[in-house]
Amino acid sequence: SLIKGNRVILNQSTELPPTPDDAKGMILIGDTNYFERLSEAVHELPPGYLYGITAGGHLKPDVQRWFYETFHFPIFRGYGLIEAGPIILINNDESKLRSIGIPLHHVSVSIRQDDTVVPDQKIGELCIRKESVVSGFTSGEEKLKDALNNGWYHTGDLCYQDLDGYIYFVDRIENRIRIKGFDMFPESAENILKKHPNIREAVIVGIPVDNRGNEKAIAYVVPEKLSQANPDALKEYLKGKIPRYQIPDDFIFLNHLPVGATGKIARQTIRRNAIHHNNKMNNLSSKPEDDL
């Protein structure tokens, strides 16, 4: 933007600056957390705001829909990787706001499962091929060897492609939960949980239940009022909204969820803690009663 002579205004506040008199319009660029905070704080957009661009997370559909229906302000999603460039996909089609876009002209993409290309509309791992892909990692060669296969960089992101070539993000592979032979992608259930009037934040993780790869779902929830937090009521709330097998076995109520350096919820930290706690409880339950 700066190279082309555009003006850049850095703004962390939910109070939006006015469009400068000599500007043709404003483009609002932010991560998904910023747009979610903005939706709770803003009552009107200053004149001249044209559209938004976000990446680095999964924007809640309700937030995207609210901006479009309230202000006719589309928020387009993009996709990028530090390891590859960084911009890979971009979307500017108002009829496909949920899509993370189509590849730039110098990028090849492929949706694969076990290194086999999957048909359109089927979920698989997003793989990319372009000239500017990372040549190594400071943590060693194994990580790069796992990520690169036959010239394709495996992103670790589960996506699908529609019949028009637009790509849609589903979840990270590492977030997928295997329950009784079925795949659960937790973000959908989390978004439904967060619509409950007493739920501020929610994360669902899977912990192993056997040595065959099966897991059970555990929900970590930040309630608005802890005194009204009720696991059975939440299970009842989810019935009919998600498949029965996806309803979490347990609900853990917390004051807040841990976040990483980028401000995103530290999902894998939560999962490690859940596994550790589960193993500890299993060890306690396996001891003779007089050892407790």
- Please work out, in degrees rounded to the nearest 5, the angle formed at the alpha carbon of residue 149 by the alpha carbons of 147 and 154: 40
pLDDT value at residue 211: 87
Residue 93: alpha-carbon gap to chain centroid:
21
Q: Which residue in 233, 261, 248, 243 sits closest to 202, CA to CA? A: 248
First-residue to last-residue Cα distance in the chain: 64
C-beta of residue 17 within 8 angstroms of C-beta of residue 9:
yes
Residue 89: alpha-carbon gap to chain centroid:
16
pLDDT value at residue 146: 65
Q: What is the pTM of this model?
A: 0.77
Q: Which residue in 174, 248, 180 sits closest to 212, CA to CA? A: 180
Q: Which domains does the chain have, with CATH numbers?
A: 1-73 (3.40.50), 80-85+98-172 (2.30.38.10), 176-287 (3.30.300.30)
Strands 49-54 and 75-80: parallel
Half-sphere exposure of 204 (CA within 13 A, CB side): 24
pLDDT value at residue 97: 87
**Per-residue tokens: 291:** 């050892």
C-beta of residue 234 within 8 angstroms of C-beta of residue 221:
yes
Non-local CB neighbours of 18 within 8 Å, separated by 6+ positions: 46, 47, 48
Alpha carbon distance 44, 16 (integer Å): 10
From residue 188, alpha-carbon distances to 3, 250, 273 in Å are 40, 17, 22
Give the chain's radius of gyration (CA, Å): 22
Alpha carbon distance 213, 207 (integer Å): 10
Tens of each residue's pLDDT in the chain, 292 residues: 666 778 888 988 899 999 988 888 999 999 888 999 999 999 999 999 999 999 877 788 889 999 999 999 999 998 988 887 778 999 989 899 889 999 998 899 999 998 899 999 999 999 999 887 766 666 655 555 567 777 888 999 999 999 999 999 998 999 999 999 899 999 889 989 999 999 999 999 999 998 888 999 999 999 999 999 999 999 999 999 999 999 999 999 999 999 887 778 899 999 999 998 888 776 654 444 443 3
- Please work out, in degrees rounded to the nearest 5, the angle formed at the alpha carbon of residue 165 by the alpha carbons of 162 and 171: 55
Which element (helix H / strand E) includes 9? Answer: none
C-beta of residue 209 within 8 angstroms of C-beta of residue 245:
no
Strands 49-54 and 26-29: parallel
Q: Which residues pair with 144 in a beta bridge?
A: none
- Please work out, in degrees rounded to the nearest 5, the angle formed at the alpha carbon of residue 262 by the alpha carbons of 257 and 267: 40
